[in-house]
Structure 1
Amino acid sequence: MKSGQLPGVKQLRYSPAPRAPFDVEMLSFAQLRLMDRSRQRTRPQRPDFHVMALVQSGVGRHTADFVDHPLRERTVVWIRPGVVHRWTDVDDLEGPLLLFTQGLPPAPGPVAQAAGDIFGPACWQLDKDAWDLSIWAADHLRHEHAAAVSNPRLASAPLLAHLLSALVLRVLPVEPAEPPTGNPHEHTVFHRYRAAVEQRFTRHHRVRDYASTLGYEPRTLTATGLGAKQFLDQRILLEAKRLLAHTDLPAARCAEHLGFQDAANFTTFFQRQAGLSPGRWRTRHDGH
């Protein structure tokens, strides 16, 4: 099994409409239902792109990495690449739905930081003032996208990227999750570390390995107050849960896939982090 693939989960690749060859695509819940009459949306799926939705009306439910979220008016949904999710119930929902690629948000900056946060929130509510501004931002992006599709002469990829960034900044929670430090250098260290973990967590389980790769002393990562070891353990645990819930791999194969020397080490790690053995956790969450 290739890294990132889960046999029980539909892998979704970014594929915009032929006449809309941009890194962002605007849809709606109504269009999602129309395109998905077989209701594949209710089964686990794992996109390699970002999915963002703004619920303007209706009530429903959404599941992201084993957490069930109620959906109602003024809910924002953000599914980042690699997250296993399903639209549990969106039959009654209306509102804009946008897809965009991993590389679209300009970097560096708060939008790119939020886009790269593997543990960032999947759903949250906005107050009315923030919501109204968010809908205006989404409408602006929708109009520009429609104009770019209908008239290539007007198409501007940088403009679409900036309008998307404006929308993301507007919908972010009032107090977005930030590393608990005000030091810009420590922010840089953390984001470099986070990116390295995402690339190597199935092979390297020690913070000092990442420190060496990034050119830091181990104490540089541990002294930032960012919980370097905890972050690494939680990333490994998340992928372990995905493997257990969405594949039939025995614990020994899960251990191998995640870079553990043997099944016993994997079981000890999982038990310590999740509070359950891999087998018991799988029984509770199989197919979620």
Structure 2
Amino acid sequence: MASTTEIELLSLDTIRTNGGRAEFVGPQRPRFHLLALVTAGSALHTIDFVNYAIGPGTVFWVRPGQVQQWGRIHDFEATVALFTPSSLDALTQQVLYGSAHSRQAVWSLGGADLETITAGMRHLVLEYGSTSASSLEIRAAILRHTLTAILLKLTDMGGQANTSTLGHSDVFERFHDAVEREFATVRSVSEYAERIGYSEKTVLRATRSAAGMTAKQYIDQRVVLEAKRLLSFGTDTVTQVASSLGFDDSANFTKFFATRAGLSPLAFRRQIRAR
């Protein structure tokens, strides 16, 4: 990661060459953002245990803390932007992370939308490789603002909120944010409702409308996702994973995980690492 700009532009071919074949075999959990525009070929790319078919015109965005698996990385080409969270200003982060569309992982673009994002990525590449006499501060600012424009445009392309859910969007987003902060220690819907200042009934209704599941299922789903991330990447034992997620013992965690994921934590770890 370039220390001056906190933004780095690379071709996928360069990433493959620098990393070596072994780098892309198992799951990865980067601490930085990875934004890729696929320019040729096709493959499957896995983000947080969901497989996405990618091809020319596909954009995928892996956020810090998410787990990705490259699959057949030699079967496609892409332009890739790597950037740290701090390369985005506070207002941009608030806008980007403040809607359900900001959690979208993959876009299949065509027409004017693809032209817009392609032009933005091309501008990033040209500015990143520029040898002009501009100061480092000016070039860094241009990179940040261009990247910001691309990310905001992608988020806007995510679609418009259904008008039937607008009345609940603020409630759900507050609930979502609270779950993100406290899922490892808080499991009670009523406690979340109290913390965000709404009735439990309102939170239940908003979550059902926005996410298509109960509020308790939403909490449990977030815990399972984090468990999968920890089990797929790193060396923590099942007992250590259980403890980090607020479980008193590994037996309770194993039962919780198996009921919702369909297999035991150890079986999941073996399965995901065998891919």
Give the TM-score range, shorter chain: 0.7 to 0.9
**Pick aligned residue for 1:77 from 10, 35, 60:** 60
Query: CA separation of 1:207/1:270 partners in 2, compared to 1, >3 Å: closer, same or farther?
Result: same
Distance, in Å, in 2 between the alignment partners of 1:81 and 1:97 is 15
Amino acid aligned to 1:136 = A
Provide Cα deviations, 1:70-100, integer angstroms capped at 9, x if missing partner. Answer: 3321121111111111322222433310012
What is the aligned partner in structure 2 of residue 221 from structure 1? Answer: 203
* 1:201 and 2:183 aligned: yes
**Pick aligned residue for 1:242 from 229, 235, 258:** 229
* Secondary structure in structure 2 of the residue aligned to 1:189: helix
What is the aligned partner in structure 2 of residue 29 from structure 1? Answer: 12
Offset at 1:114? 5.8
Distance, in Å, in 1 between the alignment partners of 2:133 and 2:67 is 33
Offset at 1:218? 3.2
Report which stretch shifted further, 30-39 or 248-257.
Answer: 248-257
Distance, in Å, in 2 between the alignment partners of 1:163 and 1:235 is 32
Q: Which runs of 5+ in 1 are unaligned?
A: 1-15
What is the aligned partner in structure 1 of residue 193 from structure 2? Answer: 211
Q: Contact between 1:55 and 1:76, CA under 8 Å: does it hold in 2?
A: yes
* Secondary structure in structure 2 of the residue aligned to 1:26: strand
Offset at 1:237? 0.6
Amino acid aligned to 1:181 = T
Aligned identity (percent) is 34
Amino acid aligned to 1:210 = Y
* Secondary structure in structure 1 of the residue aligned to 2:40: coil
What is the aligned partner in structure 2 of residue 284 from structure 1? Answer: 271
What is the aligned partner in structure 2 of residue 108 from structure 1? Answer: 94
TM-score for the superposition, normalised by structure 2:
0.79
Q: Contact between 1:23 and 1:101, CA under 8 Å: does it hold in 2?
A: yes
Q: Contact between 2:38 and 2:78, CA under 8 Å: does it hold in 1?
A: yes
Distance, in Å, in 2 between the alignment partners of 1:234 and 1:155 is 43
Offset at 1:135? 0.4
Query: CA separation of 1:248/1:107 partners in 2, compared to 1, >3 Å: closer, same or farther?
Result: closer
Amino acid aligned to 2:97 = A
What is the aligned partner in structure 2 of residue 181 from structure 1? Answer: 165
Q: Contact between 1:245 and 1:282, CA under 8 Å: does it hold in 2?
A: yes
Query: CA separation of 1:44/1:274 partners in 2, compared to 1, >3 Å: closer, same or farther?
Result: closer
Distance, in Å, in 2 between the alignment partners of 1:177 and 1:249 is 41
Distance, in Å, in 2 between the alignment partners of 1:158 and 1:248 is 39
Aligned length: 266
Distance, in Å, in 2 between the alignment partners of 1:144 and 1:248 is 39
Amino acid aligned to 2:85 = Q
Amino acid aligned to 1:267 = T
Q: Which has the higher helix share?
A: 2
Distance, in Å, in 2 between the alignment partners of 1:26 and 1:114 is 27
Distance, in Å, in 1 between the alignment partners of 2:263 and 2:232 is 14
What is the aligned partner in structure 2 of residue 8 from structure 1? Answer: none
* Secondary structure in structure 2 of the residue aligned to 1:46: coil
Query: CA separation of 1:245/1:223 partners in 2, compared to 1, >3 Å: closer, same or farther?
Result: same
TM-score for the superposition, normalised by structure 1:
0.76
Query: Map of 1:1-288 to 2, 5 A cutoff?
Result: 16-18=1-3, 21-103=4-86, 104=88, 106-109=92-95, 111-113=96-98, 120-147=103-130, 151-152=134-135, 155=138, 159-172=142-155, 174-176=157-159, 181-183=165-167, 186-224=168-206, 225-226=209-210, 227-246=214-233, 251-288=238-275
Amino acid aligned to 1:204 = V
Q: Contact between 1:51 and 1:79, CA under 8 Å: does it hold in 2?
A: yes
Distance, in Å, in 2 between the alignment partners of 1:114 and 1:24 is 24
Q: Which runs of 5+ in 2 are unaligned?
A: none
Provide Cα deviations, 1:127-149, integer angstroms capped at 9, x if missing partner. Answer: 24321221012122333444498
Provide Cα deviations, 1:228-262, integer angstroms capped at 9, x if missing partner. Answer: 33322111011222333345655444322211233
Provide Cα deviations, 1:112-138, integer angstroms capped at 9, x if missing partner. Answer: 336995xx3433421243212210121
Q: Contact between 1:44 and 1:86, CA under 8 Å: does it hold in 2?
A: yes
Q: Contact between 2:27 and 2:273, CA under 8 Å: does it hold in 1?
A: no
Q: Contact between 1:246 and 1:287, CA under 8 Å: does it hold in 2?
A: no
Offset at 1:55? 0.7
Q: Contact between 1:147 and 1:155, CA under 8 Å: does it hold in 2?
A: no
